Structure 1
Amino acid sequence: MRVLITAGPTYEPLDPVRFIGNHSTGKMGYALAETFAAAGAEVHLISGPTSLPDPSHPGIRTQRVQTADEMYAAAEALASAADIWVFAAAVADYKPAHVAENKIKKAGDTLTLELVKNIDIAATLGKTKRPEQFSVGFALETENERAHALSKLQRKNFDLVVLNSLRDAGAGFRHDTNKITLLEADGRVTIFELKPKSEVARDIVHTVLARLSHHA
């Protein structure tokens, strides 16, 4: 079984020293890579910039990228051969329209940045998904959580969405724990308690493998 996982943030450069990014640590995606590998899968982990060491499991191949464009190129090259796609990365929605060749110097009281939309990796690859492939997305929401997650499931052709709410204490970025709700394309909803991310990964992988045995 081949699994493609994206993890961590993306960094979109403004100039040689500055970037637009987010607080994703990559822990959830890395835990999923370890758990799938422990279940016997061959895992390709595409990681944005994180402070985590490459997973040591021999079944995991790690590829490091910086930007959303680099992450898309890496994922697109591997997607058709993978049985399972897991989009756990927090990809920047926008990037600077222009990257300055030199460090932007301080001048004036305000600085206006023009941003342009990044490619939506999961949605773009979702259009190419074959019936036997299984796609998992993540939704980190702050309001109308379930409605937003279900909308994402439909738009991006996911089979399963992992929803975490930033309103839940201990969930989301910069925590070693997570509290998730699994929403499935067939309408099934499963709510889990707050757990360490390693245990959350086991819950997700267990669900995916159970569905896959009935899928295709």
Structure 2
Amino acid sequence: MFSGKTILLTAGPTYEAIDPVRFIGNHSTGKMGFALAECFASQGAQVQLIAGPTNQQTKHENITVTAVTSADEMYAAAKQLAPAADVLVFAAAVADYKLKSVSAKKIKKSGNELTIELVKNVDIAAELGKVKKPGQFSVGFALETDNETENAQTKLRKKNFDMIVLNSLNDSGAGFKHDTNKITILEENATTAFDLKQKSEVAQDIVNLIWKRLHA
């Protein structure tokens, strides 16, 4: 189905260093992103998978994994690979902020409070959305806790996505650390809701809809 197509896919969390032993991160496991990579690959695509720190693994011959840790590393890899991709899928849970200054040595415990200064990370999807080439199809993910649809629609337009996959943490069995997920896919003129399913099945639903849009 995707034979001859190249997919750029980001997955997992990013870790932003505080010092040599501590970091800021999130609960993303990378399961959804890896499920998507496997699904695309099984349909004949060549997948460039940029993965943050995760225990997920793949041995599919059509998947090339680039392992990264921080948002800056993920952006550098994505920026390099994006021009050759037919489809861009931003499934990673990228940390919004990083340390303004990372300590070269372990910060010692001192006093009852510790203040660290954060600065905003690069918005990988937004930056690549600015240079999206004609014919490239871009898919984003939004994990929301309130005003879900409104927030997802804003991201759809702001980041130049063709579609965005909405997850709500208010849905039981969806989001981080689950083998299941419940999604709604938003497009400029369409909304498609799905039931709670195994992430492998969710991946197939997403891939099928992308294929339909590419061949509409």
Query: Structure 2-normalised TM-score?
Result: 0.97
Matched letter for residue 183 of structure 1: L
Q: CA offset at residue 213 of structure 1?
A: 1.2
Q: Identity over aligned residues, as a percent? A: 65
Q: Which residue of structure 2 lines up, in the alignment, with residue 150 of structure 1?
A: 153
Q: Please state whether the residue corresponding to 1:140 is helix, strand or coil.
A: strand
Q: Which residue of structure 2 lines up, in the alignment, with residue 12 of structure 1?
A: 16
Q: Unpaired segments of 5 or more residues in structure 2?
A: none
Alignment of 1:131-210 (within 5 A): 131-185=134-188, 187-210=189-212
Q: Unpaired segments of 5 or more residues in structure 1?
A: none
Alignment of 1:99-118 (within 5 A): 99-118=102-121
Q: Which residue of structure 2 lines up, in the alignment, with residue 38 of structure 1?
A: 42
Query: Structure 1-normalised TM-score?
Result: 0.97
Q: Which runs of 4+ in 1 moved over 3 A?
A: none
Q: Give the Cα separation in 2 of the matches to 1:38 and 1:136.
A: 19
Q: CA offset at residue 131 of structure 1?
A: 2.3
Q: Does 1:88 align with 2:61?
A: no
Per-residue displacement from partner, 1:143-201 (whole Å, max 9, x unpaired)? 0100000000000000000001000000000000000000012x200000000000000
Q: Which residue of structure 1 lines up, in the alignment, with residue 63 of structure 2?
A: 60
Q: CA offset at residue 130 of structure 1?
A: 1.5
Matched letter for residue 168 of structure 1: D
Q: Please state whether the residue corresponding to 2:156 is helix, strand or coil.
A: helix
Q: Give the Cα separation in 1 of the matches to 2:137 and 2:74.
A: 19
Per-residue displacement from partner, 1:62-102 (whole Å, max 9, x unpaired)? 01000000000000000010000000000000001111010
Q: Give the Cα separation in 2 of the matches to 1:164 and 1:23.
A: 14
Equivalent pairs, count: 212
Q: Does 1:27 align with 2:37?
A: no
